[in-house]
């Protein structure tokens, strides 16, 4: 059973930075596409960024240049560096791992951008 645990969320002022981490266990992590999604109150869950097993990354167009996803297969971890944060980035951020038609989700971590 694959388990994903997010960490690193919190309260940050506009213009600040946060680094989210997703720690995986219970599967062959290096084979998974890992993605970060977010869901703001009253809105649908949306893709933030993803990283393929070989390291190819994909970003939501609106977030390119501010967010950076990276993976460390040796540590079974994927990070999301978020810079120049805006109030509209406030959401619960979820980590998802996908392989062989299966998808696994973490519990989410709250990110609040406010002064």
- Percent of the chain past pLDDT 70, that is, above it, reads 100
Q: State the Cα–Cα distance between residues 45 and 39, nearest whole angstrom.
A: 4
With beta carbons less than 8 A apart as the criterion, state whether 72 and 82 touch. Answer: no
Residue 36: the pLDDT is 98
- For 7-58, write each residue's pLDDT tens digit: 999 999 999 999 999 999 988 888 999 999 999 999 999 999 999 999 999 9
pLDDT band at 82 (very low <50, low <70, confident <90, very high): very high
Residue 29: the pLDDT is 84
Q: State the Cα–Cα distance between residues 63 and 92, nearest whole angstrom.
A: 16
The DSSP bridge partners found for residue 5 are: 23
């Amino acid at each position: 059973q694959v388990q994903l645990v997010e960490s690193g969320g919190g309260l940050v002022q506009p213009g600040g930075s946060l680094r989210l981490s997703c720690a995986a266990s219970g599967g062959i992590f290096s084979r998974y596409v890992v993605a970060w999604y977010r869901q703001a109150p009253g809105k649908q869950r949306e893709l933030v960024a993803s990283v393929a097993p070989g390291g190819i990354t994909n970003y939501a167009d609106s977030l390119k240049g501010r967010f950076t996803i990276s993976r460390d297969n040796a540590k079974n971890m994927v990070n999301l560096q978020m810079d120049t944060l805006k109030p509209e980035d406030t959401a619960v951020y979820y980590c998802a791992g996908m392989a062989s038609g299966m998808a696994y989700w973490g519990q989410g971590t709250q990110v609040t951008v406010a002064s």
